Amino acid sequence: MLNLRNESYSSSRVFIRDLGPFEEAEIEIKPLTIFIGRNSSGKSYLLYTLWALTSTEPDFERLGELTEELGAADIAERIIRYVAEGKKRNARDNIRKLVEIGIDTLPHALSPSLEKKLRGVFLTELENIVRRGAHNTVITVEGPLAAAEFMISRDGVKGKNIKVYKEFIEKLNVEILRPRLLRIKTERGGRFEEEIASIRDVAKIMVELLASYIFSALHPFFVSEYFSILLPDSRAGITRTLLKPYLSPEVVESISYVDNYYIRLYFRLAEELGKGNVELETIESILRELGCKRIGARYEAGAYTVYVDMWNDISLPIIRTPSGIRETLVVALALASKSVPLVFLEEPESHLHPRAQLVLAKLISSSINKYEKSVILTTHSDYFVAAINNLIMASKLSREKLEDLNLREWETLRPDNVAAYLVKVDEERGVAKLERLKITEEGIPEDELASVAEELAYQRALLH
């Protein structure tokens, strides 16, 4: 599985100005990042924005146009000639120059893709993403080694580098194994080999090197929808109505971008389940809590379909299962999948009773510790927050004490692996605010936990 985590992961941040309801927000991405808030406070706005930033890929057609304007074709021709002639130093210098051009133009190639993703995710024009009263939105993404800034306005998205990881270029190791056969190694272990006979061959290896640069310098941003997945709210409803291998063109046209993505994700995870690429042992506890004996996938009508054997030995396709199963089963598959390193979860506690929420919290923790996943989620459940908090507090306990509590080490959460934010609404000013919660080995301090409970209870109080 692609590892999006390393020793400098905690240095990945997003800085936001004038986005949706937010004037300003700073978010540090941790292995577990939680946005807590009442309904309509803006937490999902942040979740979807972060997913857009992590799942967007460069527009490679635009990248080709931009690099062409800077002489990429001439450089590629020289690379072809030098590799054929075995001139390693000349080939290396030109490869480094071409990669430098690619890195310089990368934010500009990301901009049209990010614009398209934001329009699709929020189902609106860009001017409606900008906070009311502001002229534009500014988003800065800071990876462990590089950073980029994007300005969003009614005219589109414009990006620029504000910090470049130049050492990536300088430390590229270039070898010519024989005439036309090129091998390139990166500082962090990436290795690429290609027969170089045409500009297309050069372009292919340059795209691979730029992807390696993104993973080294900017992760977890811009890693594609394959590695960064979103599980939106209303999963139970989408599952019941839309999970069919073949939908009519009229239906497909009416489905939102996020719902359409979720449908494709379900069939991908169902196929992984059918092919044995899901760690079923990891999700046994949540399956039992949901009333499932076992799950499996059958190949039907050209696609895999998930079937659930219920507690009463009745086997049901997922679309016919109770709402708690429809809401949670795909979440469990994503958390136990070998191919999904970055998971975005909207309201994971939906349709779950309190004990099931605790089991789900332990599953999330297990996926982080055992499979090095990163999970970013929203919640408005004070019980779920308390369950997460208890797992943080448990991280300091001995193995014997954990056994007494029916906990395993990998089900606990180290405090430095968690970032929690309370999303609050300033109704007088019409803005949302992000308040970072302090986390120690004692968990979230009682006064801050009380503030969370008070904020989440606000809407319930209005009903009385």
3-state helix/strand/coil string of the chain: CCCCCCCCHHHCEEEEEEECCEEEEEEECCCEEEEECCCCCCHHHHHHHHHHHHHCCCCHHHHHHHHHHCCHHHHHHHHHHHHHHCCHHHHHHHHHHHHHHHHHHHHHHHHHHHHHHHHHHHCCCHHHCECCCCCCEEEEEECCCCEEEEEEECCEEEEEEEECCHHHHHCCEEEEEECCEEEEECCCCCEEEEECCCHHHHHHHHHHHHHHHHHHHHCCCCCCCCCEEEECCCHHHHHHHHCCCCCCHHHHHHCCHHHHHHHHHHHHHHHHHHCCCECHHHHHHHHHHCCEEEEEEEEECCEEEEEEEECCCCEEEHHHCCHHHHHHHHHHHHHHECCCCEEEEECCCCCCCHHHHHHHHHHHHHHHHHHCCEEEEEECCHHHHHHHHHHHHHCCCCHHHHHHCCCCHHHCCCHHHEEEEEEEEECCCCEEEEEEECCECCECCHHHHHHHHHHHHHHHHHCC
Which of 339, 369, 397 is where one domain is finished?
339
Task: Determine the Cα–Cα distance for residues 219 and 114; give it in Å rounded to an integer.
Answer: 16
Q: Domain range holding 448? A: 1-49+341-464
| Residue 409 domain flag | yes
Last residue of a domain, one of 307, 339, 371: 339
Shared domain check, 363 and 400 = yes
Q: State the pLDDT at residue 449.
A: 79
Residues 180 and 253 in one domain: no
Global confidence as pTM: 0.93
Are residues 399 and 459 both part of a single domain? yes
Q: How many domains does the chain have?
A: 3
The pLDDT of residue 461: 53
Whole-angstrom CA distances from 341 to 2, 21, 146, 386 are 7, 29, 21, 25
Domain presence at residue 236: no
Q: Within a domain: residue 139?
A: no
Task: Tell whether 118 and 179 lie within a shared domain.
Answer: yes
Same domain, 426 and 362: yes
- Residue 421 confidence (pLDDT): 97
Contact 46, 27 (CB under 8 A): yes
Give whole-number Cα distances, 368 to 131, 363, 364, in Å.
34, 9, 6
Asked if residue 292 and residue 365 are part of one domain, the reply reads no
Task: Give me the pLDDT at residue 392, please.
Answer: 97
The answer to whether position 202 is within a domain reads yes
Q: Are residues 441 and 303 in the same domain?
A: no
Q: Kindly list the averaged pLDDT for each block of 10 residues, start to end, along the chain of length 464.
A: 43 95 97 94 96 97 96 97 96 97 98 97 95 96 97 97 96 95 92 94 95 95 96 86 58 74 93 94 94 94 92 93 92 94 94 92 96 95 93 95 94 96 92 95 84 71 49
**393 and 260 part of one domain:** no
The predicted structure's pLDDT at residue 2: 42
Q: How many CB atoms lie within 10 A of CB 128?
A: 12
**44/3 same-domain check:** yes
Residue 138 lies in a domain: no
Task: Answer whether residue 226 is part of any domain.
Answer: no
Give the whole-angstrom CA distance, residue 65 versus residue 303: 38
CA 450 from chain center: how many Å? Answer: 30
Asked whether residue 251 falls in the same domain as residue 211, the answer is no
pLDDT of the residue at 149:
98
pLDDT in tens, 126-168: 999 999 999 999 999 999 999 999 999 999 999 999 999 999 9
Residue 228 resides in a domain: no
Considering the domain architecture, whether residues 209 and 79 belong to the same structural domain is answered as: yes
CATH number, residue 382: 3.40.50
Same domain, 346 and 462: yes
Does some domain include residue 429?
Answer: yes
